[in-house]
A and B are shown apart, each in its own frame.
Chain A
């Protein structure tokens, strides 16, 4: 140290501190530093869900490694609630996953070029998307480019309580039921204050199904503009509103009184609701109940239409080895690996071949007779939901603006007018 060491120490120290702070801040929040481990490391794959999902994905990855020993994939399972934030942070930090599960908000990423377009790779691998996945083959595309291969995809289906149907002298629901048929049945199944015909349609997949059945659209695919207050959509929502007003659906208050977070799924499982429309996941729980039930495809309006739940596999921009990642995706979405999805009872595999196979129609874990054909039958009329880049914002707006409608405090027309106005501020039509 020199003679004026103290000064040097002080200045130097502060300077060093500031520099360190700057560097740390920059690297923490800052741009993507490319670099990394090169091609040799295992592929990182992010999916959401819980333990059963982990088991299923891992089994499929084990099959992958058995077939391609040169590949290795590290599975990272993230709770659904935290998935988007976690992945966002990973990508922003430059260490995004190679293989990434995406769903309705896929275009939040693709519109910001965070996913690799897969068309060339799909063509090179000789995958026929329409033949493999039916009407949803191109569901994860944005501006005519495909960003994910469908992996899981099950239509919303009708669960009905067989005992209550027999008691009311009704025949099981079919895909040919009209709104009037459905309403008549729901009426017959309602015992005021004790038992309700229908679990409700407050979640977007349900009332959107009716809107599309009525010829309506949430977003006009041609212009990219919201059209939620069109007469067709208003009529569909008003129909559901009518079912609520007539007491065929439990009110929010009645649901809240059944317990914290009780909705249609739980109310159906306890036999309080005779018909419920939801996805595949309800099956596993219902097998454990004493309720006698079965499933059927969604009824129809002016035309057939139903929402589907699913997810696809995509490759993130930050992937260090996109070729290997695609090789893995191609295998995971092939019939061989897709069969595991139904064998473990995780979900409906997107592969049409598997959906129509015996493995799917009679899974060993389904201990009751369940008409699994309902899923394959529904696949034919799944409508193309608008997976816009502003999906999360749109959902938030829908939840908030329709809240009073579901409480029976606002009519369909004024609700959807308000929603239209809100959506117009959120959605910038694709140019």
Chain B
């Protein structure tokens, strides 16, 4: 970079580049161009056009009509479904993200122990992540049936399971259950990080008389905080954009239902854009969602200073 951009703008006379450097710069742009073009065409371009569209009334057929902030006003003041969708999405994110982190951490800790067949267990834990999401959702539809396997299991303990996907109160917990199914991907990252923690730390702790629990909380967890943080941010972003599994598991008749209880923000966006022909309105939804995600991500970064520990960091 610094070679290709000699000094900042402002200096009128630029020093000439040698032939070699010119060539080097050319190669640099040549190699970076796939990304730049991809970014401009597939990200920045659509983003800007959707920002414009969010200020229009556009049905995707007839020319867009400029309406200023009307779409945002309607969304925030007159559309009860949007608020419900936002609440559903927050509910889902607030439970599924921490739950997946805790489970991932727990599984990783178990799999880090010297036990028989741990390679097999590691494979098994990661396996669900390899099954396509749609297939998993289809299977969960059967698992979550009123007298399906899950409720039968609960029945063994004398618990009468709810009608997971049919009831307003239970459809979101059902989606959380489905999200936990994918905890394996976090587990793998945690496990890799755990194996990178220097043994000396544990040995020293042992000498000082710390038990396994104390070791876990005082060594393992602090050493893992960068990975926990990474998983938290990625998990938040993914959870706020949850769509496919909801689309499949609640479809085809109660898609987003019952009574909008599983309508997530992206679900609403999809319907508005591709079923109701409100492309402008849908664009406004996408920008509001973007702001919400941005807000939560910034919040996560703000708090990170207090609890994320980087070994190489000098404070």
Contact = CB atoms under 8 A, between A and B. Distances in A.
B163 A21 contact: no
27 contacts: A4-B16, A5-B22, A6-B4, A6-B22, A6-B25, A25-B45, A25-B49, A29-B46, A29-B49, A84-B274, A84-B275, A85-B274, A85-B275, A91-B60, A91-B61, A92-B60, A112-B62, A253-B166, A256-B163, A257-B145, A317-B61, A396-B275, A399-B254, A400-B254, A400-B258, A403-B166, A403-B168
Interface string B140-153: 01100111100000
Q: List the 10 closest pairs (A to B, CB-CB), nearest first.
A: A403-B258, A25-B45, A21-B40, A253-B146, A6-B22, A21-B41, A400-B257, A257-B147, A85-B274, A92-B60
A392 interface: yes
Contact of B256 (A108, A393, A396): A396
Contact of A17 (B4, B37, B63, B271): B37
B25 A17 contact: no
Interface in B25-50: 25-26, 29, 33, 36-37, 40-41, 44-46, 49
Contacts of B168: 403-404
Contacts of A257: 145-148
A247 B259 CA distance: 24
B130 to A, nearest CB: 22
Nearest to B256: A400
Interface of B: 4, 14, 16-17, 21-22, 25-26, 29, 33, 36-37, 40-41, 44-46, 49, 59-63, 78, 138, 141-142, 145-148, 163, 165-168, 252-260, 263, 271, 274-277
Contacts of A252: 163, 166
Interface stretch (A7-15, A173-181, A307-315, A321-329): A7-15
Nearest to B32: A13
Nearest to B268: A396
Contact of A13 (B33, B49, B145, B165): B33
Interface of A: 3-7, 9-10, 13-14, 17-18, 20-22, 24-25, 29, 31, 81, 84-85, 88, 91-92, 108-109, 112-114, 252-253, 256-257, 259-261, 317, 390, 392-393, 396, 399-401, 403-404, 407, 425
A401 B277 CA distance: 21
Nearest to B24: A6
Nearest to B276: A393
Given A114-B61, A396-B275, A17 B258 contact: no
B37 A21 contact: yes
Contacts of B148: 256-257
Contact of B46 (A25, A84, A113): A25
A88 B14 CA distance: 52
Nearest to A113: B62
Nearest to A12: B29
B51 to A, nearest CB: 12
Contacts of B60: 88, 91-92
Given A6-B26, A396-B271, A407-B167, A24 B41 contact: yes
Given A17-B36, A407-B258, 18 more contacts: A4-B14, A14-B36, A20-B41, A84-B275, A88-B60, A91-B61, A112-B61, A256-B145, A392-B271, A392-B276, A393-B275, A393-B276, A396-B271, A400-B257, A400-B260, A403-B254, A403-B257, A404-B168
Nearest to B26: A9
Nearest to A392: B275
Contact of B145 (A3, A113, A260): A260
Nearest to A18: B40
B254 to A, nearest CB: 6
Contact of B25 (A9, A31, A81, A401): A9
Nearest to A202: B253
Nearest to A401: B259
Nearest to A263: B253
Contacts of B145: 256-257, 260
A404 to B, nearest CB: 6
Contacts of A401: 259
B14 A7 contact: yes
Contacts of B33: 13, 17
Contacts of B26: 6, 9
A88 B271 CA distance: 13
Given A21-B45, A400-B258, A407-B167, A6 B146 contact: no
Contacts of A403: 166, 168, 254, 257-259
B259 to A, nearest CB: 5
Contacts of B4: 6, 10
B41 A256 contact: no
A76 B78 CA distance: 40
A91 B60 CA distance: 9
B249 to A, nearest CB: 11
A405 B98 CA distance: 34
A108 B279 CA distance: 13
A395 to B, nearest CB: 9
A253 B144 CA distance: 11
Contacts of B276: 390, 392-393, 396
Contacts of A396: 256, 271, 275-276
Contacts of B62: 112-113
Contacts of A404: 168, 258-259
B16 A3 contact: yes
B53 to A, nearest CB: 8
Contacts of B40: 17-18, 20-21
Contacts of B252: 81, 261
A84 B270 CA distance: 13
B146 A22 contact: no
